[in-house]
């Protein structure tokens, strides 16, 4: 879902998109940023064991906190979570893709040093090249700060951005400048530019301004061509509109240079027929006595979608060609160059039932549909963006161009190699009752090794593996699977080097590994293949700091939630956090705080190191915290997740109730103090669960920014799981939060929403409140955050929302709502 970071375990200061929404993939590193970023405001945290894990070398000797005998340890609180007491230091190497990096990979990356931007090499510690010697500059008498840096592929010029203004979730607008190699030729590219991309030839730049595309020549330092002339508030060229940015590309770009820079593919998105949604803003300026109304083109389910057309522009011939790809409602979900003049485009119908593949010959201006038209059967086609081009190379056994894609195979997502590119019969590289996550991560074109992240060991873990294009199904471990682990990996442009990040369940660490070395690795912590060049981060300070805190114990397990309608066991992943000094001999003592997200193909039960809101609840309220990934969530195969198709909110609510009943039966649990909290889809699931349960098991609920009626949410997300309302009216009626009298049986519930939410509109909560009014239901509390969007951060709102959640739950467990 196009929801904000509340899909992650709450108040963990988010992993900066380490786990992507919907699929919860790992580290979608934006190589274009080209800076070495320190993620110092991370909180991903987990229980710390008192023993040193086995198999870890002296280089990575862990100093786990040993609990002193009589020393008083501090409890986890909001104060130390918010001030990053438990935040591990994590770095993201932004690798530089040079003109020859696929052949001669030196592991170049851009770092910030002493107020400068410097190109360095992980291979050669003496290599250093200053690209920019200051983070501030002057132009035409005005002072600017450097907010974004992107070098040309040959490193001869640097693109700078300043005056950045956030647009939607991924997009920005800013002032762009160009600096040549001698740092004495600073030129203004333009103000109010939304997107700029270097051509592979290092001479041309394509950029988007006012929804039109321009070509800038660094040879003449002029706009050499205005590519489009029809850009407007209704027509987007080269950049996505709201729904394509949020739900399709998950980014701000809709243009793609060919490998040699001879062609530029882009989307032309016409949203003339899309209805506008007005959002009033009340607290932007104290002087305003009337609200500011901003209108956004937002296609709700069943209404008109934007019409996207794939265009190809021939730079030399200055000619356009439009690609034929279905009707006006067709979604273009991925575009990939699979040769110097060939494009592969993946499309689907608006309900994601059928995937189609189109091959485009840019030189001839012709396109044809590959007979790889595949049905989702009883599920849906999830949008992916990790298809990798594999160029032909006869010396290495690749006679034709091809690509590696992620496809469903025997009910699980696996890697498939298509060669030639118009093939319909792929070679399956992986197979089994486990799933590849957002693969492939990288392909080494010299060795033919494909690297990927997968759940091969455990659905709650992420390990790194490799497979060779010429040796399919022979999977090799890259990370150490003998230990529990959640890994990410970021490869250099030639796939010779990688940043391996261990993210849990213990304290994270990071190391840089070379995969083409024949030398055995003496520093084997985390990886069993490759040679460790150096450790980038060990988080020793955090390990030492944790000795002074009472960390609530976190345990992962599989829960049997009973039988499904076919008589099969429902096995769901879960974890529980026990409060400090937990005593199982107490009777009817502990409240249980359930946290749920539960959206299709999502995941919350992951072995990540984390100390956040859930640990605060456990420590401060002496509560057991439980998280259950029930049916519909991801990484357990199509059968487990596809049950929710056309019927959102049904089995997800059943599974939360089943889990709560098991906890209510435990002798140490106070069955009158079981609550459920969720944000976004989790907020929706909270209300659907309370509605279905009618106060029998869950006595309290906290819902933040919920969808309450799927007719009100965006078309691309909703129709993927529910089809159109015109096709599934009964399903929409059932999925809506509609039974006010059942909600009235709950002891009490809390509803919170931001009035400026451009994603899940405040309209959802307002219509829900109207339903409660009509039914005379009053057993709830409400808090509105003026002008806050879906993340609820405007004007100190993020502190308030979590304070209120904690305080409200404390009142519930103290019995203060029983007399209301």
Distance between CA atoms of 704 and 449, rounded to whole angstroms? 45
pLDDT at 72: 83
Confidence bin at 775 (pLDDT 50/70/90): very high
Burial of 565 (0-12, 13-18, 19+ CB in 10 A): exposed
pLDDT at 10: 56
pLDDT at 11: 53
Would you say 787 and 755 are in contact if contact means Cβ atoms under 8 Å apart? yes
Overall residue count recorded for the chain in this entry: 820
Decide which of 517 and 550 is more confident.
550
DSSP for residue 53? P
pLDDT at 372: 75
Taking residues 563-573, what's their average pLDDT?
A: 95
pLDDT at 58: 30
pLDDT at 65: 39
What region, left, alpha or beta, does residue 396 occupy, with left being phi > 0 and alpha being psi -120 to 50 degrees?
Answer: alpha
Q: How many domains does the chain have?
A: 1
In a domain, 715, yes or no: yes
* Tokens read off for 531: 């040679």
* CATH code at position 580: 3.40.50.1820
Confidence bin at 464 (pLDDT 50/70/90): very high
Decide which of 106 and 646 is more confident.
646
In a domain, 720, yes or no: yes
Instruction: List all residues 6 or more positions away from 213 whose beta carbon is below 8 Å from its beta carbon.
Output: 206, 207, 226, 227, 228, 231, 237, 238, 255, 264, 266
pLDDT at 440: 95
307-314/292-297 β-pairing: unpaired
Would you say 344 and 387 are in contact if contact means Cβ atoms under 8 Å apart? yes
Distance between CA atoms of 478 and 514, rounded to whole angstroms? 12
Would you say 404 and 385 are in contact if contact means Cβ atoms under 8 Å apart? no
* Tokens read off for 267: 């989307």
- pLDDT more than 70, % of the chain: 90
Of the candidates 411, 413, 414, 415, the residue with the CA atom closest to the CA atom of residue 402? 415
Taking residues 791-810, what's their average pLDDT?
A: 96
Would you say 807 and 783 are in contact if contact means Cβ atoms under 8 Å apart? no
388-390/366-375 β-pairing: unpaired
Q: HEC profile for 294-324? A: EEEECCECCCCCCEEEEEEEECCCCEEEECC
- Domain assignment of residue 680, given as a range: 552-813
pLDDT at 806: 97
Confidence bin at 94 (pLDDT 50/70/90): confident
In a domain, 239, yes or no: no
Would you say 146 and 132 are in contact if contact means Cβ atoms under 8 Å apart? yes
Q: At what angle do helices 613-621 and 797-813 cross, to 10 degrees?
A: 40
Distance between CA atoms of 509 and 530, rounded to whole angstroms? 17
pLDDT single digits (tens) 137-162:
889 889 999 999 998 988 889 999 99
Q: Name the average pLDDT for the chain.
A: 88
pLDDT of residue 92 exceeding 90, the answer is no
DSSP for residue 769? H
pLDDT of residue 459 exceeding 90, the answer is yes
pLDDT single digits (tens) 483-525:
999 999 999 989 999 999 999 999 999 999 999 877 777 677 8
Of the candidates 777, 779, 771, 773, the residue with the CA atom closest to the CA atom of residue 747? 779
pLDDT of residue 47 exceeding 80, the answer is no
pLDDT single digits (tens) 233-251:
999 999 999 999 999 999 9
Instruction: List all residues 6 or more positions away from 121 whose beta carbon is below 8 Å from its beta carbon.
Output: 106, 107, 108, 109, 127
Backbone angles phi, psi at 109, to 5 degrees: -150, 165
Distance between CA atoms of 323 and 738, rounded to whole angstroms? 44
Would you say 711 and 760 are in contact if contact means Cβ atoms under 8 Å apart? no
pLDDT at 12: 52
pLDDT single digits (tens) 575-609:
999 999 999 999 999 999 999 999 999 999 999 99
In a domain, 638, yes or no: yes
Taking residues 207-227, what's their average pLDDT?
A: 94
Would you say 337 and 389 are in contact if contact means Cβ atoms under 8 Å apart? yes
Instruction: List all residues 6 or more positions away from 290 whose beta carbon is below 8 Å from its beta carbon.
Output: none
Would you say 218 and 225 are in contact if contact means Cβ atoms under 8 Å apart? no
pLDDT of residue 664 exceeding 60, the answer is yes
pLDDT at 16: 32
pLDDT of residue 21 exceeding 60, the answer is no
187-198/204-209 β-pairing: antiparallel
pLDDT at 449: 96
In a domain, 683, yes or no: yes
Burial of 728 (0-12, 13-18, 19+ CB in 10 A): buried
- Among 92-96, 169-173, 657-661, which is the least confidently predicted range? 92-96
pLDDT of residue 685 exceeding 90, the answer is yes
| Residues annotated as part of the active site | 680, 757, 790
Strand locations in 695-808 (E): 700-704, 748-754, 780-785
Burial of 183 (0-12, 13-18, 19+ CB in 10 A): middle
In a domain, 717, yes or no: yes
Of the candidates 169, 81, 297, the residue with the CA atom closest to the CA atom of residue 793? 169
Taking residues 342-356, what's their average pLDDT?
A: 94
Burial of 148 (0-12, 13-18, 19+ CB in 10 A): middle
pLDDT at 99: 59
In a domain, 607, yes or no: yes
Taking residues 105-126, what's their average pLDDT?
A: 87
Backbone angles phi, psi at 48, to 5 degrees: -105, 125
Peptide bond into 440 cis (omega under 30): yes
Would you say 756 and 788 are in contact if contact means Cβ atoms under 8 Å apart? yes
- pLDDT more than 90, % of the chain: 76
624-629/531-537 β-pairing: unpaired
Of the candidates 695, 673, 700, 675, the residue with the CA atom closest to the CA atom of residue 591? 673
Taking residues 437-444, what's their average pLDDT?
A: 92
What region, left, alpha or beta, does residue 25 occupy, with left being phi > 0 and alpha being psi -120 to 50 degrees?
Answer: beta
pLDDT at 45: 26
- Strands across the sheet with 331-337, in order? 331-337, 342-348, 354-361, 366-375
Decide which of 446 and 378 is more confident.
446
Of the candidates 622, 627, 702, 619, the residue with the CA atom closest to the CA atom of residue 670? 622
Backbone angles phi, psi at 292, to 5 degrees: -85, 130
Look at residue 468 and give its three-state secondary structure: strand
* Tokens read off for 804: 């209120």
Burial of 358 (0-12, 13-18, 19+ CB in 10 A): buried
pLDDT of residue 780 exceeding 50, the answer is yes
pLDDT at 102: 59
Instruction: List all residues 6 or more positions away from 773 whose beta carbon is below 8 Å from its beta carbon.
Output: none
Task: List b or e across 360-393, with b for residues whose CB sees 16 or more CB atoms inside 10 angstroms.
Answer: bebeeeebebbebeeebeebbbbbbbbbbbbbee
Would you say 629 and 574 are in contact if contact means Cβ atoms under 8 Å apart? yes
Taking residues 310-321, what's their average pLDDT?
A: 93
Taking residues 172-179, what's their average pLDDT?
A: 94
Q: What is the DSSP string of 394-414?
A: GGGTB-S-EEEEEEEETTEEE
Task: Compute and round to an integer the Cα radius of gyration of the chain.
Answer: 27
Q: Where are the alpha helices (DSSP H) in 338-442?
A: none
* Tokens read off for 612: 């956040």
Task: List b or e across 498-536, with b for residues whose CB sees 16 or more CB atoms inside 10 angstroms.
Answer: bbbbbbbbbbbbbbbbbbeeeeebebbbbbebbbbbeeb
Distance between CA atoms of 220 and 640, rounded to whole angstroms? 58
pLDDT at 819: 74
Say how many Å lie between the first and final Cα of the chain, rounded: 36
pLDDT of residue 703 exceeding 80, the answer is yes
Instruction: List all residues 6 or more positions away from 727 whose beta carbon is below 8 Å from its beta carbon.
Output: 351
Distance between CA atoms of 630 and 600, rounded to whole angstroms? 10
Peptide bond into 505 cis (omega under 30): yes
Would you say 146 and 137 are in contact if contact means Cβ atoms under 8 Å apart? yes
CA distances from 148 to 34, 140, 151, 217, 800 (A): 8, 20, 10, 20, 32
Distance between CA atoms of 773 and 319, rounded to whole angstroms? 60
Distance between CA atoms of 655 and 630, rounded to whole angstroms? 6
In a domain, 644, yes or no: yes
Taking residues 760-765, what's their average pLDDT?
A: 98
């Amino acid at each position: 879902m196009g929801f904000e970071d509340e899909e992650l375990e709450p108040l963990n200061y988010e992993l900066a998109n380490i786990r992507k929404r919907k699929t919860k993939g790992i580290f979608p590193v934006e190589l274009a940023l080209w800076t070495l970023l320190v993620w110092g405001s991370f909180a991903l945290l987990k229980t710390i064991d008192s023993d040193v894990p086995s198999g870890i070398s002296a280089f990575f000797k862990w100093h786990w906190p040993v609990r002193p005998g009589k020393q008083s340890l501090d409890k986890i609180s909001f104060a130390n979570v918010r001030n990053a007491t438990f935040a591990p230091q994590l770095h993201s190497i932004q690798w530089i893709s040079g003109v020859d990096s696929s052949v001669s990979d030196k592991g170049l990356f851009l770092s910030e040093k002493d107020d400068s931007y410097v190109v360095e090499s992980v291979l050669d510690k003496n290599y250093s090249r200053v690209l920019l010697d200051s983070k501030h500059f002057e132009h035409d008498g005005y002072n600017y700060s450097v907010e974004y840096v992107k070098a040309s592929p040959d490193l001869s010029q640097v693109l700078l951005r300043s005056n950045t203004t956030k647009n939607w979730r991924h997009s920005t607008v800013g002032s762009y400048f160009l600096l040549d190699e001698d740092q004495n030729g600073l030129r203004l590219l333009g103000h109010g530019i939304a997107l700029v991309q270097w051509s592979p030839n290092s001479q041309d730049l394509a950029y988007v301004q006012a929804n039109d595309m321009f070509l800038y020549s660094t040879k003449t330092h002029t706009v050499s061509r205005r590519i489009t002339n029809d850009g407007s508030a209704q027509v987007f060229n080269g950049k996505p509109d709201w729904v394509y940015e949020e739900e399709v590309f998950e980014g701000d770009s809709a243009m793609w240079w060919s490998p040699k820079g001879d062609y530029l593919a882009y989307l032309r998105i016409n949203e003339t027929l899309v209805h506008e949604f007005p959002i009033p803003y009340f607290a932007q300026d104290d002087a305003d006595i009337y609200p500011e109304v901003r209108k956004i083109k937002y296609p709700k389910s069943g209404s008109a979608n934007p019409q996207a057309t794939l265009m190809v522009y021939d730079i030399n011939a200055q000619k356009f060609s439009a690609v034929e790809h279905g009707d006006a409602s067709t979604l273009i979900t991925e575009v990939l160059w699979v040769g110097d003049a060939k494009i592969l485009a993946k499309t689907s119908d608006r309900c994601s039932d059928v995937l189609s593949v189109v091959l485009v010959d840019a030189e001839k201006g012709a396109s044809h549909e590959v007979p790889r038209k595949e049905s989702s059967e009883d599920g849906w086609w999830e949008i992916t963006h990790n298809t990798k081009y594999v160029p032909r190379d006869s010396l290495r056994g690749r006679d034709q161009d091809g690509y590696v894609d992620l496809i469903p195979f025997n009910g699980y997502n696996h890697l498939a190699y298509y060669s030639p590119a118009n093939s319909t019969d792929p070679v399956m590289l992986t197979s089994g009752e486990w799933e590849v996550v957002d693969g492939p991560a990288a392909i080494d074109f010299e060795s033919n090794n494909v690297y990927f992240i997968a759940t091969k060991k455990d659905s709650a873990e992420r390990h790194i593996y490799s497979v060779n294009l010429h040796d399919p199904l022979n999977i090799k471990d890259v990370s150490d699977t003998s230990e529990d682990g959640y890994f990410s990996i970021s490869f250099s442009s030639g796939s010779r080097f990688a940043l391996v990040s261990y993210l849990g369940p213990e304290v994270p660490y990071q190391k840089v590994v070379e995969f083409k070395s024949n030398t055995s690795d003496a520093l084997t912590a985390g990886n069993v293949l490759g040679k460790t060049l150096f450790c980038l981060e060990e988080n020793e300070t955090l390990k030492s700091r944790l000795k002074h805190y009472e960390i609530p114990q976190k345990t992962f397990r599989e829960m049997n939630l009973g039988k499904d309608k076919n008589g099969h066991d429902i096995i769901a992943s879960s974890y529980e956090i026990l409060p400090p000094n937990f005593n199982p001999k107490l009777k009817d003592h502990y409240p249980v705080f359930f946290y749920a997200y539960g959206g299709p193909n999502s995941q919350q039960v992951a072995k990540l190191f984390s100390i956040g809101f859930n640990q605060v609840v456990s420590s401060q309220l002496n509560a057991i915290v439980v998280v259950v990934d029930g049916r519909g969530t991801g990484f357990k195969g199509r059968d487990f997740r596809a049950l929710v198709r056309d019927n959102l909110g049904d089995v997800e609510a059943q599974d939360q109730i089943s889990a709560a009943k098991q906890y209510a039966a435990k002798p140490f649990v106070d069955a009158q103090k079981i609550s459920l909290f969720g944000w976004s889809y989790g907020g929706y699931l909270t209300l659907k669960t309370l509605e279905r349960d009618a106060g029998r098991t869950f006595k309290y609920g906290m819902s933040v920014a919920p969808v309450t009626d799927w007719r009100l949410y965006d078309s691309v997300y909703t129709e993927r799981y529910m089809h159109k309302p015109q096709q599934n009216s009964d399903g929409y009626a059932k999925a809506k939060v509609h039974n006010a009298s059942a909600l009235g049986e709950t002891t009490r519930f809390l509803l919170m929403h931001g009035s400026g939410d451009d994603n899940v509109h405040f309209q959802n909560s307002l219509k829900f409140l109207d339903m409660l009014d009509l039914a005379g239901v009053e057993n709830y509390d409400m808090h509105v955050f003026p002008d806050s969007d879906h993340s609820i951060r405007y004007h100190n709102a993020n502190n308030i929302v979590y304070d209120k959640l904690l305080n409200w739950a404390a009142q519930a467990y103290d019995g203060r709502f029983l007399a209301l």
